[in-house]
């Protein structure tokens, strides 16, 4: 327990402490247009603009590149190529040296940056890129991961294998067996604010980089490597992003490096902001998978063993494909205990843009594989998939059934999925609606309905153990106001607000006394990315640690000055009780300053207990699990494949929420984004390897009108984190995303009704209207023939 925590009745008087509903700190600026993003900043005098020149073949060597017409175009100051990189021509986040700043000699995907135009205006830079004359010797290429052999073809990073028990024997001995394959599509981040970087040169070799990034320290490192200077020469700052979703964890490196190279070379500030088409073409996306599975089970639906192969389209370089495909395997169990399991990843090389982090970081893809197995078993037995789900849930500690060990050998010690699902099943009236839908379908010729209730268990922590650390800097000024800085980044998810609430709670001061400041590598060094749903957990703890250090000094000062025991120094709302008197917080701070007490502290936190041995496929990669469940009902038009989501009910576990208003928004947004991934958002490459869905005209994210007609979202009232997280809250960034799986399975249920649930729909994702229609026609044909 936090030794400094004030009693709840006192905390209730703080304007904005933890566990209170506070609006996003920038909400009023978002809606009035006064929130300052990088492109809104006052432009430095003499600012130059950059634009990428993209390759026009999918795979090939560059025979010649004539840029003379580009250089002589109006307003052009310079054209950068690989030879202009003064340091290392590499921005690989994993250190595998396989991702150049600019392609050097060989092009590995259509749209790969091969040069960068620097001009007086952005329009001049964009126009000039058209004048390049590049000749290629084209080479064979592969785009579709389904065309590859996961055991033989080229990988971008070593695969992972998880195993517990003898899956092959368990499957062979099981009374029933099924083998299948599923295709699972990728997803573009489609952040509102695109990639952008502005570099301002300083003295010596210094450069200040404003970059829309979730990982300022990594941008710092990559820019330093590209410039050939120490890290201390590069400062990266970011106040806010207009969305990230993982797309700004590594993908900002290239734009920042090029802006910094040009800024240093010309001693002028340089900004690079690609348009939406170039952004979507040249930056990575969510990994799409081909999932092969085999399952052995009995007549009741008990699963005896499973075998998975997750083959991922990774693109031309490693980027974060290793940890992404690892996490897919970590979640191939979702909420289910596999008595024997064997799971392998295949991070396959393809001639496409290198795929990267995306909300859930591979976990949702693993869960879809688990849910496909459950659905297959249910159809084979003619049972409700929910019954098969509940039958195979992880057990609870102490139930004597020994059903709580994951495929990576971590015990599930905080399992609450049974209660989550039971409460949601009752509150959404699942059984009654299931009967009503069956009656509707029996009497409706062209419109069919479907329903599905799917669970979520999401592991919280970076699987790379070293990233589970955070720093923070807290200053208390003599008027009692507080300056807060930490390594987390704000992309609209409310992290800055939550951490400020933690600091306000610690000092027992009103929230408006805490100043939220831009993330910068010059204040808090060596930070981890704001990812893996760890932002509040890590940075909240680090900020609390810094505040506690200052608080301890204030207590020691009060004890010495007023000669009272420590337990008689109590922080109350905006004041401190010292013995029998009360002193305003600001007054005590001023007194401490006059007595030369340090009022600044650097906080630090590292997640305890976690460890991971990748070679053995064993360990405790996650500090805890977050849980949730969603029930969705859909209607499909069997003549067109078009569909609507009629209703969704969600019950999600956020522990003891730091801010329910923010967390509810995260759950709602996560669900819609997950639904979009599995329904309308389709990435498509043509026969020449060109991405054709590279603009909102061809790539369909969910609209406001696509949300469920009835949308009931609740946070579970009773749970709190089993581990001592920040104020017993739980992460809520990524865990809600897989709740969208319920829509995919509701669509599958509706399609299955065409054949009275006698034929497995085998519905791949994204389940676009076209794909739904094809599945319906397939069901009709098979049903009529059988």
Instruction: Report yes or no on 116 lying in a domain.
Output: no
Domain boundary among 575, 606, 637: 606
Neighbours of 9 (CB within 10 A): 7
Do 481 and 586 belong together in one domain? Answer: yes
| Domain co-membership, 570 together with 668 | no
The yes-or-no verdict on residue 557 having pLDDT over 70 is yes
pLDDT above 70 as % of the chain: 98
End residue of a domain, out of 606, 630, 665: 606
Q: Assess if residue 718 is contained within a domain.
A: yes
* Residues 503 and 553 both lie in one domain: yes
Residue 438 shares a structural domain with residue 508 = no
347 pLDDT more than 60: yes
User: Is 599 inside a domain boundary?
Assistant: yes
Q: Answer left, alpha or beta for residue 360, where phi above 0 means left and psi between -120 and 50 means alpha.
A: left
* Rounded average pLDDT over 9-34: 85
Q: How many domains does the chain have?
A: 2
Residue written as token pair 């939220």: 516
Catalytic residue among 294, 646, 682, 734: 734
Q: Is the domain of 454 the same as that of 518?
A: no
pLDDT confidence band for 55 (50 / 70 / 90): very high
* DSSP state, residue 13: T
**What pLDDT, in 10s, does the model give residues 194-209?**
999 999 999 999 999 9
Query: Which residue reads 């259509």 in tokens?
Result: 110
Contact assessment for residue 537 and residue 460, using Cβ atoms and an 8 Å cutoff: yes
Q: What is the pLDDT of residues 74-131, one digit of tens each?
A: 999 999 999 999 999 999 998 899 999 999 999 999 999 999 999 999 999 999 999 9
- According to DSSP, residue 332 is labeled S
Is 723 an annotated catalytic residue? no
Same domain, 409 and 427: yes
DSSP state of 201: E
Predicted TM-score of the model (pTM): 0.96
484 in the same domain as 449: no
For the segment 44-64, the average pLDDT, to the nearest whole number, is 98
| 493 and 595 part of one domain | yes
Residue 581, domain member (yes or no): yes
CB count within 10 Å of CB 496 equals 25
Give pLDDT tens digits for 454-490. 999 999 999 899 999 999 999 999 999 999 999 999 9
Does the pLDDT at position 2 exceed 60?
A: no
Q: Are both 441 and 584 inside the same structural domain?
A: no
Separation between Cα atoms, residue 105 and residue 114, nearest integer Å: 9
| pLDDT of amino acid 719 | 87
Provide the CATH number for the domain around residue 540: 3.30.365.10
Q: Is 709 found in the same domain as 573? A: no
Two tokens at 188?
């573009």
Identify whether the C-beta of residue 209 lies closer than 8 Å to the C-beta of residue 69: no
What mean pLDDT comes out for the span 432-438?
A: 98
Domain for residue 455, yes or no?
Answer: yes
**What per-residue confidence (pLDDT) applies to 45?**
97
Report whether 740 contacts 678 (CB < 8 A). Answer: yes
Assigned domain for 93 exists: no
My answer on whether 572 and 673 are in the same domain is: no
Q: Residue 3: pLDDT above 50?
A: no
- Answer with the one of 583, 606, 629 that is the final residue of a domain: 606
752 in any annotated domain: yes
Inside any domain, residue 488? yes
Whether residues 657 and 764 share a domain: the answer is yes
Average pLDDT, the chain: 96
Q: pLDDT grade, residue 8 (50/70/90)?
A: very low
pLDDT value at position 626?
A: 97
pLDDT of residue 398: 66
Domain that holds residue 453: 401-464+620-786
pLDDT digits (tens, 9 = 90+) for 684-729: 999 999 999 999 999 999 999 999 999 999 999 898 888 999 999 9
Nearest to 388 by CA among 299, 312, 466: 299
CA-based nearest residue to 485, from 599, 574, 593, 601: 601
Segment 554-562 shows an average pLDDT of 98
Q: What is the mean pLDDT of residues 364-385?
A: 98
The alpha-helical segments, DSSP class H, found in 140-229 are 167-173, 216-227
Spatial separation of the C-alpha atoms in residues 377 and 382, rounded to whole Å: 9
pLDDT at 11 over 60: no
Please tell me the distance from the alpha carbon of residue 368 to that of residue 383, in angstroms, as a whole number: 19
List the structure tokens of 262.
């040009």
757, 441 contact by CB (below 8 A): no
Report, in angstroms and rounded to the nearest whole number, the Rg of the chain calculated over CA atoms. 27
């Amino acid at each position: 327990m936090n030794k400094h925590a004030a009693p709840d009745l006192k905390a209730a008087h703080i304007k904005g402490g933890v566990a209170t509903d506070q609006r996003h700190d920038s909400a009023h600026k978002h809606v009035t247009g006064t929130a300052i993003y990088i492109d809104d900043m006052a432009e430095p005098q003499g600012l130059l603009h950059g634009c990428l020149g993209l390759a026009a073949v999918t795979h090939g060597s560059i025979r010649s590149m004539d840029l003379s017409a580009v250089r002589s175009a109006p307003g052009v100051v310079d054209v950068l190529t690989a030879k202009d990189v003064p340091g290392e021509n590499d921005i690989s986040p994993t250190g595998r040296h396989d991702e150049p700043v600019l392609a050097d000699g060989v092009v590995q995907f259509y749209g790969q940056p091969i040069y960068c135009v620097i001009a007086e205006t952005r329009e001049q830079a964009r126009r000039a890129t058209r004048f390049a004359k590049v000749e290629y010797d084209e080479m064979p290429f592969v785009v579709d991961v389904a065309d590859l052999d996961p055991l033989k073809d080229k990988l971008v990073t070593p695969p992972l294998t998880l195993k517990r028990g003898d899956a092959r024997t368990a499957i062979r001995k099981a009374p029933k067996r099924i083998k299948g394959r599923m295709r699972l599509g990728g997803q573009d981040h489609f952040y509102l604010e695109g990639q952008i970087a502005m570099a301002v040169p300083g003295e010596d070799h210094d450069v200040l980089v404003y970059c829309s990034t979730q990982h300022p320290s990594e941008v710092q490192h990559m820019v330093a490597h590209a410039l050939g200077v120490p890290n201390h020469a590069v400062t990266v700052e970011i106040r806010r992003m207009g969305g990230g979703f993982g797309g700004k964890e590594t993908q900002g490196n290239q734009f920042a490096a090029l802006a910094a190279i040009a800024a240093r070379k010309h001693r002028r500030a340089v900004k690079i902001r690609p348009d939406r088409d170039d952004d979507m073409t040249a930056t990575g996306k969510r990994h799409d998978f081909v999932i092969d599975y085999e399952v052995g089970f009995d007549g009741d639906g008990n699963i005896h063993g499973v075998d998975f192969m997750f083959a991922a389209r990774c693109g031309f370089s490693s980027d974060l494909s290793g940890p992404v495909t690892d996490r897919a395997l970590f979640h191939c169990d979702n909420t289910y205990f596999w008595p024997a399991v064997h799971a392998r990843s295949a991070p396959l090389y393809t001639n496409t843009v290198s795929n990267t982090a995306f909300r859930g970081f591979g976990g949702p893809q693993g869960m879809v594989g688990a849910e496909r197995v459950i659905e297959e078993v249910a159809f084979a037995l003619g049972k409700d998939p929910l019954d098969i789900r509940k039958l195979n849930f992880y057990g609870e500690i102490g139930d004597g059934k020994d059903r709580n060990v994951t495929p990576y050998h971590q015990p599930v010690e905080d399992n609450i999925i049974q209660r989550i699902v039971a409460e949601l099943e009752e509150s959404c009236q699942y059984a009654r609606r299931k009967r009503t839908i069956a009656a509707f379908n029996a009497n409706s010729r062209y419109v069919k309905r479907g329903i599905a209730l799917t669970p979520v268990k999401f592991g919280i922590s970076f699987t790379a153990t070293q990233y589970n650390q955070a720093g923070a800097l807290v200053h208390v000024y003599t008027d009692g106001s507080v300056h807060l800085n930490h390594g987390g980044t704000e992309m609209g998810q409310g992290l800055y607000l939550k951490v400020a609430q933690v600091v306000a709670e610690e000092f027992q001061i009103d929230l408006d006394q805490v100043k939220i400041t831009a993330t910068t590598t010059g204040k808090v060094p060596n930070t981890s990315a704001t990812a893996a749903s760890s932002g509040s957990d890590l940075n909240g703890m680090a900020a609390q640690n810094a505040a506690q250090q200052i608080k301890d000094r204030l207590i020691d000062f009060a004890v010495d000055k007023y000669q009272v025991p420590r337990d008689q120094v109590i922080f109350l709302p905006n004041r401190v009780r010292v013995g029998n008197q009360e002193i305003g917080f600001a007054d005590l701070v001023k007194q401490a300053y006059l007595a030369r007490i340090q009022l600044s502290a650097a906080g630090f936190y590292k997640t305890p207990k976690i460890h991971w041995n990748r070679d053995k496929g064993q360990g405790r990669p996650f500090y805890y699990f977050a849980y949730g469940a969603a029930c969705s009902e859909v209607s499909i038009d069997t003549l067109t494949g078009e569909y609507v989501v009629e209703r969704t009910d969600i019950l999600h576990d956020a522990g003891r929420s730091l801010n329910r208003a923010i967390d509810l928004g995260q759950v709602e947004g996560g669900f819609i984004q997950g639904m979009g991934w599995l329904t309308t958002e389709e990435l498509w490459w043509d026969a020449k390897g060109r991405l054709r869905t590279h603009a909102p005209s061809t790539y369909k994210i969910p609209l406001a009108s696509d949300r469920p007609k009835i949308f009931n979202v609740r946070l579970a009232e009773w749970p709190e984190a089993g581990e001592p997280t920040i104020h017993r809250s739980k992460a809520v960034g990524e865990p809600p995303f897989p709740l969208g799986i319920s829509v995919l399975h509701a669509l599958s249920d509706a399609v299955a009704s065409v054949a009275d649930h006698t034929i497995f729909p085998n519905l791949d994702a994204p389940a676009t209207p076209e794909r739904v229609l094809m599945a319906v026609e397939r069901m009709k044909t098979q049903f009529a023939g059988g």
